[in-house]
Amino acid sequence: MSSAPSPPPSPGADTGPGTGPGSGTGPGSGADVLLGPADVRELAAALGVRPTKQRGQNFVIDANTVRRIVRTARVSPEDVVVEVGPGLGSLTLALLQEAAWVTAVEIDDVLAAALPATVAARLPGRADRFALVHHDAMRVAELPGPEPTALVANLPYNVAVPVLLHMLATFPSIEHGLVMVQAEVADRLAAEPGSKVYGVPSVKAAWYAEVRRAGAIGRNVFWPAPNVDSGLVSLTRRDPPRTGATRREVFAVVDAAFAQRRKTLRAALAGWAGSAAAAEAALTAAGIDPRTRGESLTIEDFAAIAERKGTTSA
């Protein structure tokens, strides 16, 4: 279920004045339009919302932080942004000030029902550039309005990686993005081969994009404050490796390699290949030493291995 969008106005169109609580000087006034700590708590109280750990809800209460996220994400007046887990709208409002269009995907019934009203109250001149999709982001297959060009989100910690990978796979029009995730997850997503934290998230994200750490976020900008630090991860879409194997086939090799990451690839890939000997044959054909471990391979290496499944030894 989603709000009915209308075609986005041209990026230079008049945005009109903000009329929400504490506003009245227009979207350019920044803090008056964006949500502060008192606004977030007031909205939550009015809606009867209590952030839940089950859905990883930690609402951003600092206007400077959401401005920083939008700036670091390089959101332009031409961008069509998809946001996952908008919550009460802290980041949504900042995105609407810069982008041509914003589509927010929210699973929570109460939050999804309230967000369009918050947008209309605080940025009435931009409300026609906004669409709300009330759905589980892991199951979203299409979005209203123009195709998204950017993904910007404060992702729930408990589902950050699968949501990110799903969105990148489902919407190839996404050219760049910035996500805020648990610091440990940010490190894993941006890790390079050979790193102790390099693993499945690192490799699979690299299939879609160039990934890098883009900063740290303190705990005090959230309500409630989480027990862990957060990190920003920047993504720039790249072409996947040139291979005759499908993405699913490549990811099956990745999963097998890291399921037993302490083992050599010859042993770790035995189940995937059918036997240790078959794994060795595929690895050798791909130019990979069977004695190495998955943590040393690039996404291109995994693609080469997948392509050579079924190779027989000479």
Residue 172 burial (10 A CB sphere; 0-12, 13-18, 19+): exposed
Nearest one of 247, 254, 252, 74 to 169, comparing CA atoms: 247
Residue 156 shares a structural domain with residue 271 = no
Nearest one of 44, 45, 133 to 85, comparing CA atoms: 133
Number of domains within the chain? 2
In-domain check, residue 10? no
Q: Does 154 count as an annotated binding residue?
A: yes
Residue 168 shares a structural domain with residue 295 = no
In-domain check, residue 242? no
Residue 231 shares a structural domain with residue 252 = no
Residue 47 shares a structural domain with residue 163 = yes
d(CA 130, CA 124): 10
Residue 206 shares a structural domain with residue 63 = yes
In-domain check, residue 44? yes
Q: What is the mean pLDDT of residues 152-178?
A: 95
Instruction: Answer left, alpha or beta for residue 22, where phi above 0 means left and psi between -120 and 50 means alpha.
Output: left
Q: Does 307 count as an annotated binding residue?
A: no
**Contact indicator for 296, 193 with CB cutoff of 8 Å:** yes
pTM of the model: 0.87
The CATH number of residue 302's host domain is 1.10.8.100
Q: What is the mean pLDDT of residues 80-84?
A: 98
Q: What is the mean pLDDT of residues 77-97?
A: 97
The three-state secondary structure class of 38 is helix
Residue 141 shares a structural domain with residue 281 = no
Confidence of residue 224 (pLDDT cuts 50, 70, 90): confident
Q: Would you state the pLDDT for residue 226?
A: 85
Averaged pLDDT of the chain: 89
Query: Does 12 score more than 70 pLDDT?
Result: no
- Domain limits at 252? 247-307
As a whole-number percent, the residues of the chain with pLDDT over 90 amount to 81
d(CA 303, CA 82): 29
Residue 122 shares a structural domain with residue 144 = yes
Residue 31 shares a structural domain with residue 115 = yes
**Looking at 210, 237, 264, which one is the last position of a domain?**
237
Q: What is the mean pLDDT of residues 97-111?
A: 97
Q: Does 102 count as an annotated binding residue?
A: no
In-domain check, residue 21? no
Residue whose pair of structure tokens reads 């099956």 in the numeric block: 252
In-domain check, residue 104? yes
Residue 150 shares a structural domain with residue 273 = no
d(CA 186, CA 44): 28
| SS3 labels along 127-139 | HHHEEEEECCHHH
Amino acid letter for position 270? A
In-domain check, residue 4? no
Instruction: Answer left, alpha or beta for residue 16, where phi above 0 means left and psi between -120 and 50 means alpha.
Output: left
Report residue 308 as tokens: 């050579």
Confidence of residue 15 (pLDDT cuts 50, 70, 90): very low
Residue 206 shares a structural domain with residue 256 = no
Q: Does 85 count as an annotated binding residue?
A: yes
